[in-house]
Chains A and B, each alone.
Chain A
Amino acid sequence: MVGGRRLSLDWIGAVPFLGYVALFLFLPTVIIIAGAFASEGGLTLSNFANLSRPYIISAIISSVILSAVTAAGGAVLGALLTYAIATGNPRGIFRRVLTSACGVLAQFGGVTLAFAFIAAIGPASALYVYLSQHHLDYYGSGVWLYDLRGLELVYLYFQIPLMVLIFLPAVDGIKPQWREATESLGGGTWTYWRHVAGPLLAPAFLGSTLLLFANSLSAYATAAALINQGGPILPLQISNAITSEVGLHEPGFAKAQAVVLIVIVAIVSGLYAVLQRRTARWLQ
């Protein structure tokens, strides 16, 4: 039949795209998952058993702590900035500039960001040289910029603008009538935040925080550029396992770590989707 022939010809149009993603999206995924569970001659969980090495456990814990701290800090500071933006003129040029800037800064990470902080507050920075000469040696107990505490500060640089981008639509969804209705019913500012705006924004806030968490968990470039030795966090350990001798002897090791990272991110993104649906219902 003509219809049947047409249909099969139509499908040919999607082949280049599907072929490409099969090779460069699905094949790598299959390589990771298969590799994580494979050993010579069969299925195994030994790659995951290897994750119990103390330095891997500690990297996973550090990653989670780093992500939790920067997600919480980024969410709180980002929410304050969002509120400051949302209470301005909604059509003003100031707001447009700020939201555009947040779009740029949320993508600003990696090597350049690490270098910016090294130049701004690193041991060779003008600021540090000046302050240390005036008895304010903030590296007195070691250059914390190059370890986890440094990452916590540097990650905020993209976490805060990212928070603004994803939280602003929810804050914009808050209608001024709700505050006025609360007031006419006898409630003050505290009541409004406690019973109305707080509960309404909570799912969006939590969801955004989860996104920041996952984002920080997956970030590699900034940490790699800032931290020279060792691998205090999971993405750096994965990188070590790919490029070092260890990786050549144990091909499943990096893959098992990658699976762990995917699983955490998948759980977090699933929770995020649930919270996002609720926000959409309340705040459009």
Chain B
Amino acid sequence: MSRSRRAKLQVFRVVTFVLLGAFFLGPIWFMFEFSTRGIGENSPRTLDAWKAIGTYPDLVAGIVASLELAVITSIGVLVVLVPTMVWVRLRLPRLRRVIESISLLPLTIPAIVLVVGFSPMYQWMGTNFSDSILTLSLAYAILVLPYAYRALDAGLAAIDVKTLSEAARSLGADWFTVMLRVIVPNISSALLNAGLLSVALVLGEYTIANNLLYPNLQVEIVSLARTNAGVSIAVAVASLLFAFVLLVALSFVGGQRGVRRRNRERLVQTFARDFSGGTR
């Protein structure tokens, strides 16, 4: 590459990074700024809004509910998905494509459309079964299914499930032992990946909760914004930070480099098929 072209390219890169960097970092910075404002003009920076988070019982309930939902959903989706995926690899290879297409299907259905179908189901569940907000985790597991599937698939692809379990079986292990003592330890980073992704997605979820009239964290943030914008933005910043930490942690789990890179590639592929609008 000629020197003048390299110089031009360098200018282009710097300008692009600076301008888009401002566009992306600006709003996040101003959220912090907004949440630390005092009352009245020229008042000093204060953490009052942050300290007030605990004084809104509805908000606290929303936070607790969302955290519970995150835990239940990620554990639930793993408990259903891991044995199924392992079992399919061992005994039902013909079913593998089917399970994959089903698991990725939610990517092509907008969340706002799913809600339309969920709505009568949750009405029925509410009267006949339970109207607890935690029932939302049944719907959320569908949302996180594609991401959990891709993360686990990358982990299972890195080990030879069949040989490992045959070896364990020949040593006298039953299927439960094979799963818990042989498979799970070998895909631990994939499990962590899937779990973190699920938690991040559930904590940011608004569409389904709002339309099924369940007050989760995001719903409470919106309703609080009408009365106290500072506090609701402080909570938004906190939830954002938490999601950032989770997602950044994602890029560091995964043992060896190659596995990490494959995980990242799978994730990008998943994004590249995501037509669902997700949590956006």
Contacts and interface: CB of A to CB of B under 8 A. Distances in A.
Given A13-B92, A27-B117, A160-B20, A235 B275 contact: no
Given A84-B13, A126-B33, A218-B275, A107 B108 contact: no
B68 to A, nearest CB: 19
Nearest to B116: A258
A174 interface: no
Given A126-B33, A242-B211, A255-B116, A77 B20 contact: yes
A178 interface: no
A254 interface: yes
B247 A17 contact: no
Interface in B85-136: 87-88, 91-92, 95, 99, 102, 105-106, 108-121
Q: Which of B26, B33, B116, B204 has the most CB of A within 10 A?
A: B116
A157 B80 CA distance: 34
**Which size bracket describes the interface of B in this complex?**
35 or more
Nearest to A162: B271
Contacts of B222: 111, 224-225
A20 B110 contact: no
A201 interface: no
A221 B205 CA distance: 8
A28 B95 contact: no
A190 interface: no
A interface, over-half SS: helix
Contacts of B167: none
Contacts of A103: 247, 250-251, 264, 267-268, 271
A141 interface: no
B210 to A, nearest CB: 7
Nearest to A106: B271
Interface string A248-284: 0001001101100110011011000000100000000
A55 interface: no
A257 B99 CA distance: 29
B75 interface: no
B168 interface: no
B275 A265 contact: yes
A31 B271 CA distance: 27
B278 interface: yes
A229 interface: no
A32 B115 CA distance: 10
A20 B207 contact: no
B260 to A, nearest CB: 10
A37 interface: no
Given A10-B92, A261-B113, A268 B31 contact: no
Contacts, number: 259
A109 B278 contact: yes
A45 interface: no
A219 to B, nearest CB: 4
Interface string A91-132: 000001001110111111111110111111100111100000
A61 to B, nearest CB: 18
Given A119-B30, A166-B272, A158 B102 contact: no
A198 B193 CA distance: 37
A181 interface: no
Given A10-B92, A104-B244, A222-B280, A116 B271 contact: no
Interface of A: 10-11, 13-14, 16-17, 20-21, 24-25, 27-32, 77, 80-81, 84, 87-88, 96, 99-101, 103-113, 115-121, 124-127, 156-158, 160-162, 165-166, 168-169, 189, 211, 214-222, 224-225, 235, 238-239, 242-243, 251, 254-255, 257-258, 261-262, 265-266, 268-269, 276
Given A119-B27, A220-B110, A235-B110, 18 more contacts: A11-B92, A13-B92, A14-B87, A14-B88, A14-B99, A31-B116, A81-B16, A110-B280, A111-B221, A125-B34, A160-B24, A165-B268, A169-B268, A211-B272, A214-B275, A239-B115, A262-B110, A269-B273
19 contacts: A14-B92, A17-B81, A24-B138, A27-B117, A29-B109, A32-B113, A80-B16, A84-B12, A99-B264, A103-B268, A108-B204, A110-B280, A116-B28, A120-B29, A157-B27, A218-B111, A262-B110, A265-B109, A269-B108
